[in-house]
């Protein structure tokens, strides 16, 4: 159900999404990504979707997915369509993987095998075939630049052969890799614009490369500045980031809006997160957002 106080969605035009991994409760950095993607979707009168990226059972924390959804709702963000659970999309992943058959190869190179080669896999396997090690499928990359114009960060490009190497798209024991699943799932959901943290800026050329191999459209990208902690490190679920308090969402929502450059909206009187978000969506402007530099946010 759309939020009653938001402009009504116009899903034919804009479809955005928030794609958390259930590795812990929502922390401030992920809240900023959620709010940024929600605001951008609403300011475009578009649809906002949620996909739970639960492909890695070893990193999943039991209960975290439900907890994240409850926290989003407490902050006034309810997806316009049913939540997509990535683990249930195996058939779609299998079908797309089959289409990559010509480009993927089985590889048993470990990180330490690749260390002697600049950490990158370029064309040929360097490990002796060790049948005890579970293989992965890598996709063979091209020696060409893949670039895009990020709506906030500007032009960005990588030569995949030089900068990334042949990358893993599927592990025998871990299922499909994030880089692969995200491409298939965003395309199937008809996502027109991806708004997420700039820690994923350098994953984007790999994703565009896979879109090109699979004949899928490339969405627009907007990478938000990262929230840093006082020591200048990225807040992440695997470090010491504190979960946001869903019993008292308004102060944290104001801090998130402030971080996104919406200073006036952040200070507008409001008694519910829904009202505050609706005010923020009405005044949302890309130009107000910080560029490039990642920023510290006061978290008290
Ligand atoms: N699941 C990823 C994460 O939580 C985000 C993926 C994306 O937005 O493309 O970091």
Structure-block tokens of residue 129: 């075939």
Gap from CA of 184 to ligand 1 centroid (Å): 14
Pocket of ligand 1 (CB under 6 A): 19-21, 53, 182, 196, 200
Q: Are residues 192 and 162 in the same domain?
A: no
CA-CA distance, 131 to 48, in Å (whole number)? Answer: 45
Say whether both 78 and 113 belong to one domain.
no
Name the H helices within the chain. Answer: 28-43, 64-74, 90-99, 111-115, 160-163, 178-188, 204-214, 249-259, 263-266, 273-282
Q: Which residues pair with 50 in a beta bridge?
A: 18
Residue 160 sits in a domain whose CATH number is 3.90.800.10
pLDDT digits (tens, 9 = 90+) for 186-198: 999 999 999 999 9
Supply the pTM of this predicted model.
0.90
Exposure b/e, 69-95, CB count within 10 A at least 16 = b: bebbebbbbbbbeeebebbebeeebee
| pLDDT tens profile 114-166 | 887 788 888 878 776 666 777 899 999 999 999 999 999 999 999 999 999 99
Q: Are residues 138 and 266 in the same domain?
A: no
Whether residues 80 and 211 share a domain: the answer is: yes
Q: Is residue 9 part of a domain?
A: no
250 domain residue, yes or no: yes
For residues 278 and 231, membership in a common domain is answered with yes
CA-nearest residue, atom 6 of ligand 1: 19
Ligand 1 center–CA 290 separation, angstroms: 20
Convert the pLDDT of each residue in 63-79 to its tens digit.
999 999 999 999 999 99
Domain span including residue 265: 15-91+181-299
> Which residue, by CA, sits nearest to atom 7 of ligand 1?
19
The atom number, within ligand 1, closest to the CA of 186 reads 9
| Domain endpoint, select from 135, 170, 205 | 170
- 195 within some domain: yes
CATH number of the domain that residue 280 is part of: 3.40.50.620
Per-residue model confidence as pLDDT tens digits over 14-33: 999 999 999 999 999 899 99
Query: How far, in Å, CA of 106 to CA of 97, rounded?
Result: 13
């Amino acid at each position: 159900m759309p939020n009653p106080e938001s402009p009504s969605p116009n899903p034919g035009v804009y479809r955005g999404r928030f794609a958390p991994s259930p590795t812990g409760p929502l922390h401030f950095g992920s809240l900023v990504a959620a709010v940024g993607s929600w605001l951008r979707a609403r300011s475009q009168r578009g649809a906002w979707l949620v996909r739970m990226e639960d492909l890695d059972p070893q990193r999943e924390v039991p209960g975290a997915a439900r907890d994240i959804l409850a926290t989003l709702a407490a902050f006034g963000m309810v997806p316009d369509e049913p939540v997509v659970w990535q683990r249930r999309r195996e058939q779609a992943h299998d079908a797309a993987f089959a289409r990559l058959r010509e480009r993927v190869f089985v590889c048993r190179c470990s990180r330490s095998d690749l260390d002697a080669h600049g950490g990158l896999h370029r064309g040929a396997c360097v490990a002796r075939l060790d049948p005890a090690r579970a293989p992965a499928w890598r996709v063979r990359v091209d020696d060409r630049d893949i670039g895009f114009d990020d709506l906030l960060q500007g032009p960005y490009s990588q030569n995949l052969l030089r900068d990334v190497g042949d990358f893993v798209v599927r592990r025998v024991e871990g299922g499909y890799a994030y880089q692969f699943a995200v491409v298939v799932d965003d395309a199937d959901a008809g996502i027109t614009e991806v708004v997420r943290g700039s820690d994923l800026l350098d994953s984007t050329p790999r994703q565009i490369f896979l879109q090109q191999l699979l004949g899928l459209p490339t969405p627009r990208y907007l990478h938000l500045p990262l929230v840093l902690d006082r020591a200048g490190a990225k807040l992440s679920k695997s470090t010491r980031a504190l979960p946001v308090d869903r019993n008292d969402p308004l102060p944290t929502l104001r801090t998130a809006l402030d971080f996104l450059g919406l200073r006036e909206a952040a200070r507008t009187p409001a008694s519910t997160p829904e009202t505050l978000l609706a005010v923020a969506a009405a005044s949302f402007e890309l130009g107000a957002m910080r560029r490039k530099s990642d920023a510290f946010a006061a978290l008290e």
